[in-house]
Amino acid sequence: MRPLTLRRTVWTCAFLAAVLLGVMLLALRLGAVPFSLGDLGENLWWLASGQSERVSTDFRLIMVEIRLPRILLGILVGAALSVAGAGFQALLRNPLADPYVLGVSSGAAVGAILSMLAAPAYPWITPLAAFFGATATIAGVYFLGRREGQLDSGTLLLAGIISASFLSAIIIFLMTTLASRDIRGMAFWLMGDLSTALPPGLLWIFMVFFFAATGAIYTTASDLNLLLAGEREAMHLGVDVTRVKLVVYVSASVLTGLAVSVSGAIGYVGLLVPHVIRMFFGSDYRLLIPTAALGGAIAVVFADTLARTVVAPTELPVGAMTAIAGAPVFIYLLRKRVP
């Protein structure tokens, strides 16, 4: 394996950023109302050069007010899920760990359903309630996962699985109390939905928390490389294992809670994207974390584009698209690793 250098990191991230830009342009062009490449380029140039008065009303409505906010939300959600997945896989030293393994998505769903029952007239409360539900689940699983004052990876995983099962039962119960007009919307949200654009204020809050949590995980990248060899070996090499576990667990859980609160449960992104990134670029977390963020953004934006166009004008849940594409990839990776 080639040694990691700053030059290699920059060029790898630049390549993935270029791919993401291409996927963004594809997502802007395609949809129930497609635009030609010429119209897209011309109107984007007018917007970028400050000639917004020349932009057509249809383009402004569809591109600027509907598609672009959705694409930006997909980028943040995909990056958050992928970074969280890479963090959980390192924390639990389990390649099958993903952002939903600790019950965070179920906690967010419980919060969202409770907000719909308590304040149906205020839909903007739903993402906030979902985030608080995810936060409460994070805290509960953390305390259940402690043994003798230390955060134990195995106990944490079991606590997450048990919490997810319990919260799933609560979700089923609460779904039966929703009005019939709300059940379909909630079911669609639970399968992953990016159609509801965040208000600018909430979008900025999402970005601040995303960069803070991702930065916190990145500060532990070198320690995570050592943890792959085992906790005892890492401790002998001077790693503060308890601190690293706490930072990664809290940061990855916050990223998952943010993503689920605004998009519902989009599966397979946090599980598969880190695997695919490792296949192409190696397992050094100093490179894996930024490339996983870009890879997750690419995956979610592309999946959302398919969800909008496959049966247009009807939309499919984004989570359904990631599952359809992700399950075969996961089976391939699983069979490839089995001798």
Q: If we measure between CA atoms, which residue out of 171, 175, 163, 191 comes closest to residue 109?
A: 171
Per cent of the chain over pLDDT 70 is 88
Chain segment 66-94, per-residue pLDDT in tens: 888 889 889 999 999 999 999 888 887 77
Which residue did the predictor score with more confidence, 14 or 162? Answer: 14
Across the chain, mean pLDDT equals: 81
Q: Select from 148, 158, 49 the least CA-distant residue to 94.
A: 158
146 bridge partner residues = 151
Q: Is the pLDDT of residue 338 over 50?
A: no
Residue-range domains of the chain with CATH: 65-337 (1.10.3470.10)
CA 272, 297, 27, 305 torsion: positive or negative? positive
CA distance 157 to 2: 33
Decide if pLDDT at 337 tops 60: no
pLDDT of residue 194: 82
Query: Model confidence at 268, in pLDDT bands (50, 70, 90)?
Result: confident
Q: Find residue 147's DSSP bridge partners.
A: 150
Whether residue 32 has pLDDT greater than 90: no
Tens digit of pLDDT for each residue in 203-241?
A: 788 888 899 999 999 999 988 888 877 778 888 878 888
pLDDT in tens, 122-138: 766 777 787 788 888 87
